[in-house]
Amino acid sequence: MATNKLNAPNIDSSDLINFPDGRIKDNDGTGDGTGVNRLIYSDLHEFFAYLMRAAALQYNGLPESVGNGYQLIQALMNFAVKNDYIAALNATTVIIGGVNTNVLSVGLKLSTLNVNESVVCLAAADFNNAITLIAGSESGVYQTITVPSNYKAGDYLQLIVTNSGITLIRLANALNLQEICTELGFLQAATGAEELAGTIDTVGTTPYTNQLAFTNRLNGSESGTYLATPTNNGLMSAADKTTLNSLNNPVKNVGWFSGVDVNGGNPGLYYPVHGDIASAVLFNKGTNSDSIIIVTFNNPMPGSYFVRSMIESQTNVSTDDGIRCPVFVPLGPTSFKWIISEVAPGTQSLKIHIEVVAIS
């Protein structure tokens, strides 16, 4: 703990606003001056003594002067500059145990750094994984290094003191970011030209470059390559879209009903249906060996229409073909009456394929 001179005898405490801890008082000849004693001066000497020890400097035994140098100022500078300047990180060869050994070297006293304290260094050469030791400016003192990411000459490194030695971490900046991204395989954003060219796989698409390329291929100078042709799949052009919109398929309902035995069955019989045919019901049997069937369909017709009937034999064609040409009668936008007759008595099993076609 430090002592406060304000608590010492013979201290001037008349202006505590400007001098909160009091002032040294001169002796006016009556013995009222501040004493030259341990209480007043011990902490001053202890401050500089510890500063020298912490800076790892040995007293040269000479008074501080221009000629002798200022060791106390040097001790202060060791602390003031060790984290403010970029330290050069070099490789050198030293003799350890009688053997020439490659080590890293940095021009500061590593012993003055505390655990978790760091310094920024500039690498003079690429990382060499054969080098495992680092030396500061203290003679004969070496520490083990750990290098999580290999560095290159010209890279800035964060030198961190740990409990087990020194860790060197490669720092990314505007000078080496491109190289680091390439080494680590990080994708970067493609430029507009790279996106349009589409020839490399080392950059990434962004929303902007993707939109730029799509617009160019759809409406720009490259659209001729990407629009569909009679022999090449591709995007649809405005002209093709206009043509497509102008096309009108008049067939609005497609389906079938089956199991029809002409002049057979009882009124109210529902036939199996498929597709756009909603129902097919035997309405009546006529006097001319015919069947009258009411057919409803799903898609209402906007106006006049006709019905195509294609008849499929499901059993014995020799009996199934004993029929006359069927006729239809429109009943409304979603139904029609379908009539078929047989030319000779027999049992048929017919599937009736239907297309309801709009008349423009």
Confidence band of 83 (pLDDT split at 50, 70, 90) = low
H or E element, residue 352 = strand 350-358
Report the Cα 165 to chain-centroid distance in Å: 36
pLDDT tens-digit profile of 243-266?
887 778 899 999 999 999 999 999
Q: Is residue 254 a contact partner of residue 355, using CB atoms and an 8 Å limit?
A: yes
Q: Is residue 202 a contact partner of residue 184, using CB atoms and an 8 Å limit?
A: no
212 φ/ψ angles, rounded to the nearest 5 degrees = -60, -45
Q: Is the pLDDT of residue 187 over 60?
A: yes
For residue 197, CA distances in Å to 14, 131, 200 come to 83, 45, 8
CA angle 76, 80, 81 (to 5 degrees): 120
Question: Can you tell me the distance from the alpha carbon of 191 to that of 210, in angstroms, rounded to the nearest whole number?
Answer: 10
Cα atoms found within 13 Å of the Cα of residue 61, Cβ hemisphere only? 0
* pTM metric for this prediction: 0.45
Confidence band of 1 (pLDDT split at 50, 70, 90) = low
Q: How are beta strands 142-146 and 165-170 bridged, if at all?
A: parallel
| Beta strand spans in 172-249 (E) | 188-189, 203-204
pLDDT tens-digit profile of 217-246?
888 888 878 888 888 888 888 888 888 877
Q: Is the pLDDT of residue 299 over 90?
A: yes
Residues 6+ apart with CB under 8 A from 92: 102, 103, 104, 105, 135
What is the residue type of 3?
T
* Token couple for 42: 């011990």
Domain residue spans in the chain? Answer: 87-170, 196-236, 251-358
Q: Is residue 299 a contact partner of residue 346, using CB atoms and an 8 Å limit?
A: no
